[in-house]
Structure 1
Amino acid sequence: MSTAVTVLLVVAAIVVVIVGGWAYGRANRLDRLNVRVDLAWQALEAALERRTVVVRAIAAWMDDSDDADIHAAARTLVARADAAEHAARDQREDAENELSVALGHLDPGARPPALVAELADAETRVMMARRFYNDAVRDTRSLADRRLVRLLRLGGTAKRPEYFEIVERVPPS
């Protein structure tokens, strides 16, 4: 073997090692980002479930009233909370938005201050969890959408994460 062929083989081996190391690092990073998306989704679900519990507490408080309209509003709240809680992941946004709209139709001054504060806290937690989740989705999609990452299929079989957009707070009408 000549010296030129040996040098070419060494350079080719170095290039393969460098590209392989880069690809391994990108695939590992993408895997960690997908784990981050999953954990952020779990936190978002927990925040949404906490808000649902607070909504049910508000509905139970409203049920103690003698007014038929308030009873109807309480039943609507419970129905929307149930729909949001049992919705499939791809339909959860719409169900949560309907719950937010139903909450927006209620007068916060007509509720006990403790429930108002609890709902505000739950909504703040939902807002923060949604932002963390969407940040994780953005970072994952940003890396997964790079041309070389797609070409080498470094994302494996991981499903492309979707953003979760809901109304953060609906002002009372």
Structure 2
Amino acid sequence: MSWSEIALVALGAVVVGLLFAWQGASRIDRLHRKVAASRIALDAQLVRRASAAVELATSGALDPASAVLVADAAYAASDAGAVTSPAAALKMDGLDSARERAESGLTATLREAFGSPEAVHDLRAGPSGEVLEGLAAAWYRVTLARRFHNEAVAQTRRVRRLWYVRLFHLAGRAPMPRTVELDDALPHGLEPAGG
């Protein structure tokens, strides 16, 4: 082989390598966008659940002490979730620990306020049944949004662990995304009417 043939083969190898690097970087970028979009969707669902909890607390369906506790926990979750800037909503680090604790606290407070599945059934049959259905639907959407977000994070982390992604630093300076871990299990008897 002459030097020109060797140069042509080397140039072809470089072009193929650059093409794979470009495709890998594009894939990671798409995954990062998916994580950011799923986090924004999760934030919206958490806010919707907190407002549904406040609506339930003010509906008169709960006893006064439980209503105050639920409203307080919902406002604490809303305050912990206040986004200070648009860039904060696009972070890859999941929710901060204070927000996760506040959202888990709202879940625990609601679970405690409902008590048994029979009490939930009685609330559904009462005049505030529609408000309770709204809370159940919002709560179910939170569960789904968190699962979608955590799956997007898992996909991104799997791709970022590939040897060529790390070797060529294809993820750039983007931080490694984190999952959102909070207690969002529905109480027994509160499953949405459709599910």
Select the residue among 139, 147, 161 that pairs with 2:163: 147
| 1:17-166 matched pairs, under 5 angstroms | 17-62=15-60, 70-87=63-80, 89-91=95-97, 92-107=99-114, 108=120, 109-110=122-123, 112-166=128-182
TM-score, normalising length: structure 2: 0.78
User: Which structure has the larger Rg?
Assistant: 1
Letter in 2 for 1:20: L
Match of 2:84 in 1: none
Q: Which runs of 5+ in 2 are unaligned?
A: 82-94, 115-119, 189-195
Match of 2:184 in 1: 168
Letter in 2 for 1:152: F
Question: Does the 8 Å contact 1:101/1:170 carry over to 2?
Answer: no
TM-score, normalising length: structure 1: 0.87
Q: What's the CA shift for 1:118? A: 0.9
**RMSD across aligned positions (CA):** 1.8
Letter in 2 for 1:10: L
Question: Does the 8 Å contact 1:104/1:169 carry over to 2?
Answer: no
Q: What is the CA–CA distance in structure 1 between the aligned matches of 2:37 and 2:187, rounded to whole Å?
A: 30
Q: Which runs of 5+ in 1 are unaligned?
A: none
Q: What is the CA–CA distance in structure 2 between the aligned matches of 1:171 and 1:77, rounded to whole Å?
A: 15
Residues 86 and 145 of structure 1, relative CA distance in 2, 3 Å threshold = farther
Question: Does the 8 Å contact 2:140/2:186 carry over to 1?
Answer: no
Deviations, residues 54-88 of structure 1 (Å, cap 9, x unaligned):
000111124x87xxxx3332222122112212226
Alignment size in residue pairs = 165
Provide the identity percentage. Answer: 33
Q: Any idea what SS the aligned residue of 1:106 has?
A: helix
Moved more, 27-36 or 104-113: 104-113
Q: What's the CA shift for 1:170? A: 4.6
